[in-house]
Chains A and B, each alone.
Chain A
Amino acid sequence: MPAGSDIRALIVDDQQTIRSLVRAGLKDIGIHNIEDAVDGEDALRVLLSARINLIISDFNMPKLDGLGLLRAVRMTPQLKSTGFIMLTGRADTELVQRAQQFGVNNYLVKPFTVATLRAKIEEVYGAIT
């Protein structure tokens, strides 16, 4: 049962609005170690310099999209066991299936409530105390 303070999250989205929303949600849950990145490339840069154990990433981003980021993370030994939750628009079944094949831990459909965000993280890490 992890505490919120055990989780160090990285939010990846090209949209400031979504980054802010996820950040606000995470804080509500008690996760305060949060980094931001604006696309997959940016995210990798952060991942290589900060100790992150949970990535919450959008799918459609310029430069390197969420799927590309997921694959890069899973292919890099030091990063491979980082939790990865993909943000998607509604009903994007195909995308989630692809992400699943590449080893995504969970998905989160936009728009989401704090309760859903919490549930999706807990499905990966167990209940957060």
Chain B
Amino acid sequence: MDPMEEIKATFFQECDELLADLESGLLEMEAGATDPETVNAVFRAVHSVKGGAGAFGLDTLVRFAHVFETTLDAVRNQTLEADAAVVRVMLRSADRLSDHITAAKAGEDLGEEGDQALIQELQAFLGDVEDDTAGDDMPDFGFKPMLISLGDDPAPLELAPVANGPWEIILRPQAALYRNGNDPAVLLRELAMLGQTTVTLDDSGVPDLNDLDAQGAYLCWTVSMPGTVEEDRIREVFEFADFDCDLTIRRSAGEGANEIVEAPLPVLAVEEAPAVPEPLADAPVEGEAFSLDAILAMARDAAAATELTGDVPAPQADVSDVSQAPAPQGSAVEASPPASAPPRAASEASTGSSATPTQQTIRVDLDRVDRLIDLVGELVINQAMLAQKVLEEGAAPSGSVALGLDDLEQLTREIQDSVMAIRAQPVKSVFQRMPRLVREVAGMTGKSVRLVTEGENTEVDKTVIERLSDPLTHMIRNAIDHGLETPEQRREAGKPEEGTIRLAALHRSGRIVIEISDDGKGIDRTRVKAIAVERGLIDADATLTDEEIDNLIFAPGFSTASTISDISGRGVGMDVVKRSIQALGGRITITSTPGKGSLFTLSLPLTLAVLDGMVVTVGDQTLVVPITVIVETLQPKASDIRGLGPEGTVLAVRGSHVPMVDVGQALKFPSQGNARAGVTLLVESELGGLIALRVDAIQGQRQVVIKSLEQNYRQVSGIAAATILGDGRVALILDVDGLVATRRPAVAPQQPLAQAS
């Protein structure tokens, strides 16, 4: 790829993140956040978009971003208050900016006409501030570049040279040390094992024999050791003794070199604003030690001083500030054990504690992660095969080989979980797109809507997230368009004019649950039923429970909108939503209370790469049925199985009849003996109706790694995918809905509601 194109791709990728930051920052401001950090983050997002866009000649975008940025700058400088009206315009500006970027990605230009209204609104907030967009170049203000010669090459910095001087260890045992059975001689001997020691005994504390307490402690040892010995090793020696003694461990080279970090930071001899960096420092360099901490503390101080005051602070005053800056904690070596972390750890700790700790991340090609997941899948299978082989060869289950394999299994599982976690992402990325959608739909329908999101950090596989976007979009549109009433209707119903849409994500028993609820009018069951009759989905005299009526909205081709609006409708109904959720291995349910609102609940697997399955035998084949569809397993009596029509069979389950499918027959396996024997799995099919699947036997339950059949062979109806079992054989994973569909003419399970009449 052309390097410029590559950078451009990076830019667009970065834009997506920046836009997300922008929107979430603005939403925080809408909720009342006024702290400089939030405002600055919002400003920086727009500024960065603008900065990058300029490099690629996206002029329209830059001009718009500039106006936006100028207004944000006014908020940042507190010359403009970010009240509700301002933030609203900014949110719309963020949407517009996003549109510009989307267009730019496609190589298009939205043009400036669409920007004018917003630009005017943004500028209106600023009052009479002059527009400086015109000046392309910096006005001449007498800046003179400063020459530097490369001969002044800075000497390389030694990081923390403090760590080199010889050690001085002062050990003054307390009486408790002797009482607890410790012996200083042992400690000294252990020290001697770490390196050359010189021990001096200070017995000046020993009293006259008459005053001597036989159990008292009067001695003090001073040990010198080479500085090359690691501090941790020395501390280890005293691990069990240091509560019972006064222990000092320090570097003793020169004049207390260990205190160098605590010494005043290098002070600049700055008289005036410096013209050249050269005359800055006459600070003693010899033997001077620098720690990142010290410099950071100084830098932060300087940053704070320059940021908070609008004017350039007088360097003199600042320098004195800096020299008084407290030495960072933890860098002094002479300290009690808990504070004795090595310099590097200390500096990291201090970084971590700064105002907004950002997690370190790396960008990795998704292909690489997927390859890793594939390999781990293979590893899991291989491990299972190995375990089975070992058992078959007759190794003792408690023997070392079998136990080793158990450990291996544990490790493989952990690797698998960790690798899956790499693909896991917070649902935030999808949730973040919804506020804009809500704003737009609310605008189009003239409704007043508030979106509440919860559990944005709930994690789920990236593929699941990507494929959640469309169904969620559609459901939220529906909720606003059909669920919520107009402000007038709401007022009449005694509700607040502003409707609430709640979008929540949570983990529940190994799955992710997403709830979309509204406080609207709920499902109008009379109308739903009337439409279903009109569409021929149910008989006019059918008796349906409320739940069954609610579920009618998932029926193919069902749409309750009396006019096909721009927003929802257009033939894409809840059936499509339901199907896409099911394609992800998920389920969708609805509960609705008239006058109070509706709640849609989606339940989805956390990953699409593995599946919890019931391993069953059908004929001479081993099949896997996804656990999630199984409601119940039972061993029916022959008398419970009845024929229905020429080919159909039904199973009587607690008084009601459930269509029955013989899996072997449906998949055209060679017929095996008695069709009425075996086990029956009660499964839930597409429309929520129950189906009984007859199999020969159940082998057990296990997690299987899904291998696409389509990629490796071709699509087979009734089969969702394949997996490899512990013994190395391939097993097919059943697609229950597909299987039922192939048998539809015989069992006709598609419209159980219609049958109910």
What is A's interface to B at a CB cutoff of 8 Å?
Answer: 2, 6-7, 14-18, 20-21, 24, 40-41, 44-45, 47-49, 51-53, 60-65, 67-69, 71-72, 74-83, 89-93, 96-98, 100-107, 109-112, 120, 123-126
Contacts and interface: CB of A to CB of B under 8 A. Distances in A.
B358 interface: yes
Interface stretch (B147-155, B170-178, B493-501): B147-155
A98 B273 CA distance: 10
20 contacts: A14-B48, A17-B10, A18-B48, A20-B10, A48-B292, A51-B154, A62-B358, A67-B302, A67-B306, A74-B280, A75-B322, A79-B154, A81-B277, A92-B138, A101-B312, A103-B146, A105-B145, A110-B54, A112-B55, A124-B145
A98 B306 contact: yes
Interface string B176-193: 000000000000000000
Given A15-B48, A21-B55, A45-B292, A53 B153 contact: yes
Nearest to A47: B157
A86 to B, nearest CB: 11
A16 B13 CA distance: 10
A63 B353 CA distance: 11
Contacts of B280: 74-75, 80, 103
Interface of B: 3-4, 6-7, 10-11, 14, 40-41, 43-44, 47-48, 50-52, 54-55, 69, 132, 135-139, 141, 143, 145-150, 152-157, 159, 265-266, 268, 273-274, 276-278, 280-281, 283, 285, 288, 290, 292, 295-296, 298-300, 302-303, 306-307, 312, 315, 319, 322, 351, 354-356, 358
Nearest to A84: B277
B263 to A, nearest CB: 14
Nearest to B52: A17
A65 B48 contact: no
B3 A24 contact: yes
Given A41-B351, A93-B141, A16 B55 contact: no
Nearest to A21: B55
Given A24-B3, A81-B148, A124-B145, A15 B51 contact: yes
A77 B299 contact: no
A117 B147 CA distance: 15
Contact of A16 (B10, B43, B155, B266): B10
B148 A76 contact: no
Given A74-B274, A75-B295, A78-B154, 18 more contacts: A15-B14, A17-B14, A24-B7, A48-B295, A52-B154, A62-B356, A64-B300, A68-B302, A69-B299, A80-B154, A81-B148, A97-B312, A102-B273, A103-B277, A106-B146, A110-B51, A123-B147, A125-B149
A15 B273 CA distance: 31
Contacts of B274: 74, 101-103
Nearest to A71: B302
B307 to A, nearest CB: 7
Contacts of B51: 15, 17-18, 89, 110-111
Given A49-B159, A51-B154, A53-B150, A71 B303 contact: yes
